[in-house]
Copies of this chain bind each other. A is one copy, B any other.
Amino acid sequence: MNKDKLKEMLIKVQNKEIKIEEAVMKMQQLPYDDLRFAKIDTHRELRKGFPEVVLCQGKSIEQIREILKRHIQHSKTVMVTRADQNVFDAIQSEFSEIKYFEQAHIILLGKKMQTKSEKYILVITAGSSDIPVAEEAAITAEIMGNKVERLFDCGVAGVHRLLYNTEKIYNANVIIVVAGMDGALPSLVGGLVNKPVIAVPTSIGYGASFGGVAALLTMLNSCAPGISVVNIDNGFGADYQAHTIQNLNGE
């Protein structure tokens, strides 16, 4: 309810076109759909430019199914993250247009959003074990209507693999760098380009990698400026910011 809507309503009150009780009620009306165990944020698309995304973790298949049924009534594009194969198998038959991206653990109900711009988001990984997180970012980006390029397995230990792809890097609009273990790659990329770099630490590694903490700390302490960081394994979040940045260009 913005300023203009408020004014309009008050004029109607003044003109006695609506009753006071009705006005009070409207001004307090719930802008979400209540499922008792979940509140469907139906205004999210207006507020954030993309409908609320459903995170599977910690929800029963029953809950996921019920939430999705409600969501698909409001949006043409419903995205589900951290979905195991068995979630997909359990709900697949109940939705007409549904697709599972296996590596990314993402379910798409309905259609991808339309691509608006030729500027691409580049997703780079240090190792091949980092690919599932990178795919979570890339598929999210594509569903949200962005062009995506991928550059996988370019870690610092063999730096020429990165340096021979500099053109692809320089031409990107936003760069997502996904790395586990030492997490050193974003520093290198950040030193090369003049574009926003979003670093995603992954839980790949063992021993003193502490489930991605080592990579996370490396990235937070990067000596190359212009890098920001998201949570460990949060490919979705990295793209969400990349998408927000892409949108600025299109405006």
Q: Which of B41, B187, B203, B208 contacts A232 (CB 8 A)?
A: B208
Interface segment, A68-76, A88-96, A105-113, A188-196? A188-196
Residues of B within 8 A of A217 (CB): 208-210, 213-214, 217-218
In the assembled complex, the Cα of A117 lies from the Cα of B205 at a distance in Å of 33
Residues of B within 8 A of A3 (CB): 24, 28, 167
The smallest beta-carbon distance between A167 and chain B, in angstroms, is 7
| A39 adjacent to B228 (CB under 8 Å) | no
Q: Which of B57, B174, B220, B223 contacts A156 (CB 8 A)?
A: B223
Produce 1/0 per residue, A20-61, CB < 8 A to B: 100110011111100011110101100111001101011100
Residues of B within 8 A of A10 (CB): 10, 13, 20, 23-24
Residues of B within 8 A of A215 (CB): 221
Residue of B nearest to A44 (CB): B158
Produce 1/0 per residue, A104-142, CB < 8 A to B: 000000000000000000000011111100000000000
- Asked if A177 is at the interface (CB within 8 A of a chain B CB), the reply is no
Q: Which of B155, B184, B188, B226 contacts A218 (CB 8 A)?
A: B184
Give the interface centre of A49, A152, A225, A241 by most chain B CB atoms within 10 Å: A225
Contact surface of A with B, Cβ cutoff 8 Å: 3, 6-7, 10-11, 13-14, 16, 20, 23-24, 27-32, 36-39, 41, 43-44, 47-49, 52-53, 55, 57-59, 63, 67, 126-131, 152-161, 164, 167, 173-174, 180-184, 187-188, 190-198, 201, 203-234, 236-238, 240-241, 243-245, 247-249
Instruction: Name 26 A/B residue pairs within 8 A (Cβ), A-sorted.
Output: A3-B167, A10-B13, A14-B20, A41-B161, A47-B192, A47-B193, A52-B158, A55-B129, A58-B129, A59-B128, A173-B248, A174-B248, A183-B221, A184-B223, A196-B196, A196-B241, A196-B245, A198-B228, A206-B232, A208-B217, A210-B217, A214-B218, A221-B231, A225-B240, A229-B229, A249-B249
